Every structure is written in C-alpha cells, then in structure tokens.
C-alpha cells in the first residue's frame, strides 16, 4: 500500500492507531500551549523563595545543544548513517524536552523578563522573539508525529513531516540562543 493511497484504500484497522495518536498529540499540544499562555499572560510568575536566575543560561545551552544535534542528524541521514541519525534526533528531542521543562520552571518562579533596550535593537529583538515564539508552536506536535511515523516505519510520511519540521526546529533552537544573548545584553549587570 502506498503512503499516497486514498484513505478509502487503507485498511481501517491500520488507521485506528494513527487516529488515536493524532488525538493524543492534539490534546498534549493544546494543553501545553494553554499552560504556557496561562503562565506567561495570566499568572506572570512570582512563586518566590527559589532563585532560578541561572536557568536562562541553561536553556540557551540546551537550545544550542538541540541545534547541534539537529545538524548532526541532518548530516547523518544525508550520509545514510541511519543509526547515528536516530541517536542525534533522540538527543535533539531530549535536549528540547529538557529545555521546555526548564523554561516552564523558570517562568513559573520568575515570570517574564522584559527587554531593557530601546530603539532599533528592541525592534529587532521583538521581531526575532515573535518569529521564535510563533514557529516554536508547531515543533512539539510535528516532532511527535515525525517520531511516530519513524517508529511505524512509514518513512515517506516521516520525510514529508520532517521536510518542514527540520528547518523550523533548527530556527527555533538557534533563535532561542539569540533571544537569550539579546535579552541578557539589554539588562544591567547584576550585583
């Protein structure tokens, strides 16, 4: 059966796991986005008591690690080194997942950090931040779908997803580091 077969040509029992997985992915993604929106727009941090100001640097390191692993994964799949590709991609997913946990923890405790600069640099920062945030939204569901298709050995479908996912995920990882550098560069030195 071709990956391009019409849905009516597919065995109904083979689409049931797909449907369940897609519903699961949609629910997880919606809950994650709703939690982030609540955390940043409604709650605005302030759990107090714990100083986690070191976490943004850790987050930048995790984003840089994810970016390096994504590039390694792309190079290894181009060279047909599929086992290395799997390891690189699992590593990139782990780094991004750790980033997300660390990001949520930091913002739960400290809330949002505002850019302190003005003028053209602030406009550039906001442009990079906006593109980073908007493009980060589809990364989790697309990554889950890509892993699902790879696990199911549906590599045609996997490639169709990753053709879009790879550049978006890499851009989000790199701009995550850039946002950190720009943000920290705008703040006054801490005592």
Reported as a pLDDT band with limits 50, 70 and 90, residue 190 is low
CA dihedral 97, 58, 31, 157 (to 10 degrees): -30
**CATH number, residue 102:** 1.20.120
Is residue 95's pLDDT more than 60?
A: yes
The per-residue pLDDT for 48 is: 67
Q: Which DSSP state fits 188?
A: P
The answer to whether residue 4 sits within a structural domain is: no
- Three-state SS for 3-72 is CCCCHHHCCHHHHHHHHHHHHHHHHHHHHHHHHHHHHHHHHCCCCCCCCCCCHHHHHHHHHHHHHHHHHH
Is residue 1's pLDDT more than 50?
A: no
The answer to whether residue 83 sits within a structural domain is: yes
User: Range of 107's domain?
Assistant: 13-44+52-186
Tens of pLDDT, residue by residue over 2-21, are: 444 444 444 444 667 789 99
The answer to whether residue 3 sits within a structural domain is: no
CB 145 within 8 A of CB 161: yes
The answer to whether residue 5 sits within a structural domain is: no
Distance set, CA 64 to CA 48, 152, 178 (Å): 28, 29, 10
The answer to whether residue 2 sits within a structural domain is: no
Tens of pLDDT, residue by residue over 13-72, are: 466 778 999 999 999 999 988 988 888 888 766 666 788 989 999 999 999 999 999 999
The answer to whether residue 149 sits within a structural domain is: yes
Mean of the per-residue pLDDT values of the chain: 88
Is residue 176's pLDDT more than 80?
A: yes
Question: Could you give the number of structural domains in the chain?
Answer: 1
* Cα 148 to Cα 162: distance, rounded to the nearest angstrom: 12
The answer to whether residue 111 sits within a structural domain is: yes
Mean pLDDT of 123-141: 95
* Cα 47 to Cα 110: distance, rounded to the nearest angstrom: 7
The answer to whether residue 7 sits within a structural domain is: no
CB 141 within 8 A of CB 29: yes
Which token pair is 114? Answer: 């505002």
């Amino acid at each position: 059966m071709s990956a391009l077969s019409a849905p009516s040509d597919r065995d109904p029992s083979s689409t049931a796991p797909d449907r369940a997985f897609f519903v699961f992915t949609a629910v997880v993604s919606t809950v994650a986005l709703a939690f982030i929106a609540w955390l940043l727009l409604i709650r605005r941090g302030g759990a107090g008591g714990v100083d986690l100001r070191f976490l943004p640097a850790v987050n930048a390191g995790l984003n840089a690690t994810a970016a390096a692993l994504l590039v390694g994964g792309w190079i290894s799949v181009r060279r047909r080194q599929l086992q290395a590709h799997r390891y690189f991609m699992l590593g990139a997913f782990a780094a991004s997942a750790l980033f997300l946990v660390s990001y949520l923890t930091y913002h739960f405790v400290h809330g949002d950090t505002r850019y302190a600069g003005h003028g053209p640099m602030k406009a550039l920062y906001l442009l990079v931040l906006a593109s980073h945030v908007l493009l980060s939204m589809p990364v989790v569901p697309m990554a889950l779908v890509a892993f699902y298709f790879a696990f199911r050995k549906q590599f045609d479908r996997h490639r169709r997803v990753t053709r879009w996912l790879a550049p978006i995920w890499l851009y989000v990882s790199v701009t995550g580091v850039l946002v950190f550098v720009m943000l920290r560069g705008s703040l006054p030195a801490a005592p």
